[in-house]
Amino acid sequence: MGYDSTNIFAKILRGEIPCKKVYEDEFALAFHDIHPKAPVHILLIPKGAYVSFEDFGEKASSQEIAGFFKALSKISKDIEETQKGCRILSNKGINGGQEVPHFHIHLFAGRPLGPMLSS
Ligand code: 5GP
């Protein structure tokens, strides 16, 4: 599947739609999810146009990949609620439940998060 630049996260990156920003650098942008599923629910996205983690791993430069995961580490470290533990998750495709076709990692924290999958 090719990258669709009309997706909502592409619009956020272009500044066409607002977001509650948590962190930004040259490689990544992090912001609060609009429908949080935990007291802390942050989305981290790369600045580049990648559909999924698979697309990102395949096509992004080593610098982009390193920058993205450094940003993830920094966000986690900076957020008090993650210090008791947190979870990251990335959905891909229909069975993965991916709604927005721009690679993103969810970061959840702020309460015990329960089993890894609901069923
Ligand atoms: P996915 O299901 O693709 O893994 O997750 C997409 C996430 O994006 C969902 O948790 C959804 O609540 C969030 N989301 C969708 N539209 C917007 C938006 O316009 N702004 C923000 N901040 N989050 C959004």
**Which residue minimizes the CA distance to atom 15 of ligand 1?**
34
Task: Ligand 1: list residues with CB < 6 Å.
Answer: 8, 17, 19, 31, 33-35, 43, 91, 97-100
100 C-alpha to ligand 1 centroid (Å): 7
Identify any residues that bridge with 41 across adjacent strands, giving them in sequence order.
108
- Measured CA angle at 69 (ends 16, 86), to 5 deg: 95
State pLDDT tens for residues 12-35: 999 999 999 999 999 999 999 999
Q: What fold characterizes domain 8-109? A: HIT family, subunit A (3.30.428)
**Which residue minimizes the CA distance to atom 12 of ligand 1?**
35
State pLDDT tens for residues 34-70: 999 999 999 999 999 999 999 999 999 999 999 999 9
Q: Is residue 104 flagged as an active site residue?
A: yes
CB 46 within 8 A of CB 2: no
Neighbours of 2 (CB within 10 A): 8
Q: What is the pLDDT of residue 118?
A: 79
Residue from 97, 100, 104 nearest 118 by CA = 97
How sure is the predictor about 114, in pLDDT bands with cuts at 50, 70 and 90?
Answer: very high
Strand arrangement, sheet containing 28-32: 21-24, 28-32, 40-46, 105-109, 86-89
List the chain domain ranges: 8-109
**Which residue minimizes the CA distance to atom 5 of ligand 1?**
99
User: Candidates 12, 52, 55, 99: which one to mutate for ligand 1, based on the most atoms within 8 Å of Cβ?
Assistant: 99
